[in-house]
């Protein structure tokens, strides 16, 4: 049913980039629910296009309302968004935090490489953000020793 597909595109454009950006837990739930509503609208004979469209619009309005409240209320923000978790600090893996987040050292090291660093001694902090991305913060001495963007000076052209 191409109409439901076009309605999703229309509603996503109305709701903004957040609906399709890297997702925190709440955004992921909304995305899964959108897929379920779409599938139900397409596959179930007793589900009409109008019901599917209304369900999608309502879900995206709820997401918009909740993100609106989260921007204005720290209490709501804490309830729907996980805080970042520090996984590595000043030369030490924080194993308890890594265990809680179910992140392996290999995954942390991959994030370091992806950020353009070749050695952990170039990094001060590594955090797991609320959208499951990694933030890798350079060791302040790395920039002073010819590091630019995490690439050793001898590798820059």
The verdict on 6 and 76 lying in the same domain is: yes
At residue 92, φ and ψ (nearest 5 deg) are: -125, 135
The verdict on 66 and 108 lying in the same domain is: no
The verdict on 103 and 139 lying in the same domain is: yes
User: One digit per residue, pLDDT tens: the chain, 157 residues?
Assistant: 567 767 777 776 666 554 555 566 677 778 888 888 888 888 888 888 888 889 888 888 888 888 899 899 999 888 777 788 999 998 999 999 999 989 999 999 999 999 999 999 999 999 998 778 899 999 876 554 444 444 443 333 3
Domains in the chain, number: 2
At residue 118, φ and ψ (nearest 5 deg) are: -105, -15
Type and span of the H or E element at 141 = helix 140-144
Angle between helices 49-72 and 2-15 (to 10 degrees): 20
For residue 93, list its beta bridge partners: 88
CATH number for 118: 3.30.240.20
The answer to whether 98 and 105 have CB atoms below 8 angstroms apart is yes
The tokens of 74 are what? 């720290």
Which runs of consecutive H residues, i.e. helices, occur in 1-139?
Answer: 2-15, 25-43, 49-72, 74-80, 95-101, 105-114
The verdict on 7 and 46 lying in the same domain is: yes
Half-sphere exposure of 60 (CA within 13 A, CB side): 23
Among 36, 59, 80, identify where a domain stops: 80
């Amino acid at each position: 049913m191409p109409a439901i597909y076009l309605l999703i595109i229309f509603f996503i454009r109305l709701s903004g980039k957040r609906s399709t950006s890297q997702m925190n837990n709440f955004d992921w739930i909304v995305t899964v629910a959108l897929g379920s509503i779409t599938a139900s609208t397409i596959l179930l004979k007793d589900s009409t296009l109008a019901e599917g469209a209304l369900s999608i619009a309502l879900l995206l309005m709820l997401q918009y309302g909740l993100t609106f409240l989260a921007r204005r209320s720290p209490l709501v923000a804490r309830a729907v968004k996980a805080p970042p978790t520090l996984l590595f600090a000043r030369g030490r893996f924080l194993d308890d935090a890594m265990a809680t987040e179910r992140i392996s050292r290999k995954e942390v090291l991959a994030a370091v490489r992806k950020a353009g660093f070749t050695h952990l001694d170039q990094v001060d902090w590594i955090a797991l953000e609320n959208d499951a991305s990694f933030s890798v913060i350079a060791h302040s001495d790395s920039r002073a020793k010819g590091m630019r963007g995490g690439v050793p000076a001898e590798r820059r052209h």
